[in-house]
Structure 1
Amino acid sequence: MRLLKLVPDNTNIPFLRFRLPFMALSILMILASIGLVATRGLNFGVDFAGGLMIEVRVEQNLRADEMRAVVNGARAGNATIQNFGDGHTASVRLPLPPGDEAAVQQVVSRVQGLITQRYPGAEFRRVETVSGKVSGELIQNGALAVLLAMVGIAIYIWFRFEWQFGVGALFSLAHDVALTMGFFSLTQLDFDLNIVAAVLTIVGYSLNDTIVVYDRIRENLRKYRKMEIVQLLDLSINETLPRTIVTSLTMIIALAALVALGGEVLFGFALAMLLGIGIGTYSSISIAAPILIWLNVKSDSFVAVTKPGQDGVQRNERLPTRK
């Protein structure tokens, strides 16, 4: 029985021929994502924004403006209503009332009573409260976690390969994170701790994919010392393409099932992961390898040469990277 091959043997796709359009597209998408986050911002969930969040499901078709009018009847501050799922579920977000836990419970009881009165049989799935101080700390810690992860990864690749590879990996990871943030700014989906976990997972996956490509590039730099760098990079990407396609496709199938069937709690996380896998695969092929050319990596940049020492003994020394 013959094994199924998604990528035929001897595949030779000239990826590097399109490196300029790929890079231009990536830079435009990064700038667009930064612009979206700067102008529209992120729709922070209760984890980051602080306040009170009530998730409710009703039997009728739920209209955000109608639900907002009902909740505002509790006089607990301006309510933010967001529909999600099948149109019967919404999250109700309110500012935290002044006072202790008893004051919070009074607001929750009033809001739930008004919703039940308007929507008989309403189901309250969860109630969450986060103080403003805690939410501010969570934003700082979440951003710091992503930043430290990216810098640590770049330093690791620098020592594992060469500094050019570290710069390429860091740019690829910044590309993946920026586009993910831009997507959440565009769609205004809740951005909470689950999404931070998804971003960190995307960083790890993209790194793994990039290291596989970089490792093959390093092997081929040793093997084909006279090959043109563009041809060598194309060869390395095509040699790792079957592994990249199979791994990414497996992840995409699993995450698509979670997006469709995982429910509202896992929807944001699964969607962020699904988007990140696609972006990470693209960046490993179209950014991580081509950027080495602009960093002046040549086929003989890291070739060890033999030079006689003062004592006449032959020693191997690495040629410096060409400027």
Structure 2
Amino acid sequence: MTTLRVIDFMGQRKLAAILSILLVLGSLVSLSVKGIVLGLDFTGGTQIEVGYPQPADLSVIRAQLTESGFENPTVIYFGSESDVLIRLQGEPAAGLSDEVFAALKNNTDSEIEMRRVDYVGPQVGDELREDGGLGMLAALAVVMLYVAIRFQYKFSIGAVVALVHDVIITLGFFSITRLEFDLTVLAAVLAVIGYSLNDTIVVFDRIRENFRLLRTAEAKEVINESLTQSLQRTLLTSLTTIFVLVALFVFGGELIHNFAIALIVGVVIGTYSSIYVAANLLMALRMTRENLLPPEKEGEEFDGLP
């Protein structure tokens, strides 16, 4: 039987901590200065579906709309390459769809067809801004309580910091790249929270078990042993998830491109944070085997005496 070689993950904990701090600070600066490019779901606007008799060139359509005076139009395929969805931000105006259709028709010899026009209000964004923040704080509080009850309060601090770390960096990525943030991306961010927490819980469970088994080992040795044992499971889960997300990005169409990108970034960061944020914090908080022992009841030392 071969012995598993223990990887010294915690030997690089200081370098990893510096990297995490730089990523979080960079994300916060970008979010503060540049903000996030909000999609139609949050800002309100008009969606127009247009049908072409042959595959349409999105760059040409985008240029036609820009030349006609429409600012920052979003043009994507909607199903097939002959179906195009046009999104225009701002308050819906009367006759806007007719102006868009006329601009497209004047710049092409093809017989195009107006399929559908939708007006989207910004009320969803208002509700999310008001209630989403409170909901997120409540969710983090419940997560902290759950981890504290199941493990120990030091574990709960590590889990919540890892979650906040993952969310900030994912949002920062969208701020830096100026990718559009819509409801599908919000759903991806919530999925990242669940993925990251699940991965962290698996790592914490192994660390807690090894603290009880390796009684004479130091905290660094126990954490390295635990991370090495759970590494294969973590890599298999992360890689298979990323393979699926890459397939979605390549073959899923432009409607879910940003959704797939958000999940890919979140899975990579979540896997990293389970090792170098959550476990690293346990080292910083001086986690010991004694922390996991149940508190001694008063007078317990006299039990069994006559």
Q: TM-score, normalised by structure 1?
A: 0.82
CA-CA distance at 1:125 after TM superposition: 7.5
- Alpha carbons of structure 1 residues 208 and 113: separation in structure 2 relative to 1, 3 Å: same
Partner of 2:188: 198
Deviations 1:266-303 (A, max 9, x none): 21111111111111001001111111111121233323
1:48 and 1:139 in contact (8 A); partners too: no
Partner of 1:35: 29
CA-CA distance at 1:117 after TM superposition: 2.4
- Alpha carbons of structure 1 residues 54 and 210: separation in structure 2 relative to 1, 3 Å: same
Partner of 1:23: 17
Give the one of 238, 255, 260 matched to 1:270.
Answer: 260
Partner of 2:139: 149
Matched, 1:241 2:235: no
Partner of 2:176: 186
Distance in structure 2 (CA, Å) of the matches to 1:152 and 1:14: 32
2:58 and 2:76 in contact (8 A); partners too: no
1:146 and 1:199 in contact (8 A); partners too: no
Alignment of 1:52-201 (within 5 A): 52-54=46-48, 59-60=56-57, 62-63=59-60, 64-70=62-68, 72=69, 79-82=71-74, 91-97=86-92, 103=94, 106-119=95-108, 120-121=110-111, 127-201=117-191
Distance in structure 1 (CA, Å) of the matches to 2:43 and 2:259: 18
Structure with the larger helix share = 2
Distance in structure 2 (CA, Å) of the matches to 1:80 and 1:46: 12
Distance in structure 2 (CA, Å) of the matches to 1:138 and 1:55: 27
CA-CA distance at 1:148 after TM superposition: 3.0
Q: Which amino acid aligns with 1:95?
A: G
Provide the secondary structure at the position in 2 that maps to 1:17. helix
- Alpha carbons of structure 1 residues 196 and 123: separation in structure 2 relative to 1, 3 Å: farther
Partner of 1:51: 45
1:150 and 1:203 in contact (8 A); partners too: no
Greater RCO (Cα-Cα under 8 Å, separation 6 or more): 2
2:75 and 2:87 in contact (8 A); partners too: no
Q: What is the root-mean-square deviation in Å for CA atoms of aligned residues?
A: 2.9
Q: Which amino acid aligns with 2:13?
A: R
Moved more, 230-239 or 125-134: 125-134
CA-CA distance at 1:305 after TM superposition: 7.7
Matched, 1:232 2:217: no
Q: Which amino acid aligns with 1:283?
A: S
- Alpha carbons of structure 1 residues 55 and 170: separation in structure 2 relative to 1, 3 Å: farther
- Alpha carbons of structure 1 residues 142 and 121: separation in structure 2 relative to 1, 3 Å: farther
Provide the secondary structure at the position in 2 that maps to 1:297. coil
1:116 and 1:122 in contact (8 A); partners too: yes
Provide the secondary structure at the position in 2 that maps to 1:80. coil
Distance in structure 2 (CA, Å) of the matches to 1:269 and 1:83: 17
| % identical aligned pairs | 37
Alignment of 1:271-286 (within 5 A): 271-286=261-276
1:48 and 1:135 in contact (8 A); partners too: yes
- Alpha carbons of structure 1 residues 254 and 14: separation in structure 2 relative to 1, 3 Å: same
Q: TM-score, normalised by structure 2?
A: 0.86
CA-CA distance at 1:42 after TM superposition: 0.7
Tell me how many residue pairs correspond in the alignment: 296
Gapped runs of 5+ residues in structure 1?
1-7, 73-77, 316-323
Q: Which amino acid aligns with 2:31?
A: V
